[in-house]
Amino acid sequence: MHPVSFEPVDGWKSAKILPDRQGRGQVGLGGNGPGEPANLSQRQPSRAPASFASRCHDRFGTVIATPGLDIGRRHDDMWVDAEIPGNRVTDRPMQPRPEDRERTVFDALHRAALFCDKKIGWNRLGVVLSAAIIAIAAMVLYRILRTINASEVMEAVVTTDWHDIALAALFVAGGYFTLTFYDLFALSTIGRTDVPYWGAALAGFTSYSVGHNVGASVLTGGAVRYRVYSAWGLSAIEVAKICFVAGLTFWLGNATVLGLGIAYAPLAASAIDQLPAWLNRVGALLILLVLALYVSWVWRRPRIVGREGWSVALPDGPLTLLQIGIGIVDLGFCALAMYMLVPEEPNIGFVTLAVIFVSATLLGFASHAPGGIGVFDAAMLVALWQFDKEDVLAGLLLFRLLYYIVPFALSLLILGGRELVLALRGARPPPIQPLPSLAPTDVATGPREEKGEPR
């Protein structure tokens, strides 16, 4: 790189090419004339702050970037006048590298999260949001159910075709079978492949059955998982990682189904959010864009998220696609079960019902009500306005029986029997350990080490 000499003067600065020992040019800033180095010792240096970030070009056209170097104005009325043959020096700062841009984005998100955490509080936001959703759902249910004839609802339940009920039960079983792969995938992600499939199936089925019915699935499901996985020596930190990866699978699947479904049938979402179809389609395309950006982000290099002593490597690109596929299959089975329980007339497409079902499920999840009770039902009754309310309510009652009550009863029997066997064997319960926060605040591009141990 050529040596650069400069000299502030009372007027315009100029850049000159000065010969060096190899016969090449060097840039000289000053008023001593071409080919003469500036005599810096005879001038008073400027007290004005210097802003340095420019690009110099050698005579072969190769860009020589000098990070942090920008030969700009000494005052507001002074600019750089560079006279480099065939090239031009501008006062435009260097563009940051992609890695710097990613870090800037994450730092901004981190600052926003800290602001909400310290100034407002995530718990307060969650409580307000849940209370608002439950209040709106209660008002909607009151307006709908006050005109419902209970005897007609029971008649609709009894007259439902047993063939449809059997198919719905089969699809519910397929959905819970898919849920077991949430835990199996999470165990593989955190490197605990020593846990057999039946252990992952036991923890997955019981934790989701209990979490769906009791509410606060992160806490209740995490407690059930910890009790099951402690038999294989998993710590509370590892159980927290499993909950995080399983939750990520759930949200990726929901985002994909909603994005594709609303983009194909935007009017289905309009039945719930009351927004125009074009706006719902734009929102769906934005969801798919964010999803594609996430997949490309994890595809490029290993990504690690962590907070306060725990970290987990996110699944890479191909595994993320598998993760999305698991979530899609799970939601597909659940939507098929609901599809078998709605009336046949008037006929609506499966994609339309799937969008309505997933949207109502997410509203129930956001309310933190046990099983989304009231919220899920109100959203379904509002969205399926073209059906008789008694028939829709009968289908919702049957779905709750098959998807919530029956699995919950089976889970209690399985967990109770397991505890009885462990007590007869004299096994001690695992020590209670505090679960860390599952909200990641640090993102890295690869494994980081501290004092010789990976974080």
Full-model pTM: 0.66
Diameter over CA atoms, the chain: 103
Mean pLDDT computed over 314-330: 94
Q: What are phi and psi of 305, to 5 degrees?
A: -115, 145
Scanning 32-121, the segments in alpha helix (DSSP H) are 98-115
Q: Is pLDDT of 56 > 50?
A: no
Query: Which of 120-129, 158-167, 312-321, 420-429 has the weakest average pLDDT?
Result: 120-129
pLDDT in tens, 302-320: 888 876 667 888 999 899 9
d(CA 105, CA 39): 45
d(CA 362, CA 376): 8
How much is the pLDDT for 100? 57
Give the tokens for residue 42: 């005879």
pLDDT in tens, 157-205: 999 999 999 999 999 999 999 999 999 999 999 989 999 999 999 999 9
pLDDT in tens, 344-402: 888 888 999 999 999 999 888 877 777 778 788 888 888 888 888 889 999 999 999 99
| 52 neighbors 74 (Cβ within 8 angstroms) | no
How much is the pLDDT for 251? 92
How much is the pLDDT for 405? 92
Residues 6+ apart with CB under 8 A from 341: 160, 164, 165, 168, 395, 396, 398, 399
d(CA 57, CA 89): 8
- For the chain, the straight-line distance linking the first and the last C-alpha, in angstroms and rounded, comes to 40
pLDDT in tens, 251-272: 999 999 999 999 999 998 888 8
Residue with more model confidence, 279 or 86: 279
